Amino acid sequence: MANTKKTSEQTTKQSTTKKPATKSTKKVIQPIAKENIEIVNKNKEVKEEIKMLKEEKLD
């Protein structure tokens, strides 16, 4: 599998070259971004839970 992670330098370079979001695109993007953040946080919680369960199983 190819390495798809971007370095912070690449991300910064990419974000600075893009045009700023207009009000209409912000209205569309903001709810999606909030939802994505919630999903990422939930994934972190689930990963922690799995880790704890694996440790319990090993005991």
Q: What are the tens digits of pLDDT across the range 10-48?
A: 655 665 667 777 888 888 899 999 999 999 999 999 999
| pLDDT in the model for residue 38 | 97
Q: What is the signed CA dihedral for 3, 12, 37, 6, rounded to 10 degrees?
A: 0
Residue 9 is assigned to a structural domain of this protein: no
Q: What is the pLDDT of residue 57?
A: 86
In this prediction, residue 26 carries a pLDDT of 84
Radius of gyration of the CA atoms of the chain, in A: 18
The confidence score (pLDDT) of residue 20 equals 75
Residue 7 to residue 14: CA distance in whole angstroms: 11
Q: Is residue 17 part of a domain?
A: no
Domain-located, residue 57: yes
Please indicate, yes or no, if residue 7 is contained in any of the structural domains.
Answer: no
Please report whether residue 43 resides in a domain: yes
52 has a pLDDT exceeding 90:
yes
- Residue 5 has which token pair? 């992670």
Residue 27 in any domain: the answer is no
Q: Which domain holds residue 45?
A: 35-59
Give pLDDT, residue 54.
92
Number of domains into which the chain is organized: 1
Q: Choose among 6, 46, 40, 7: nearest CA to 32.
A: 40
**Has residue 24 been placed in a domain?**
no
Give me the helices (H) in the chain, please. Answer: 8-17, 23-58
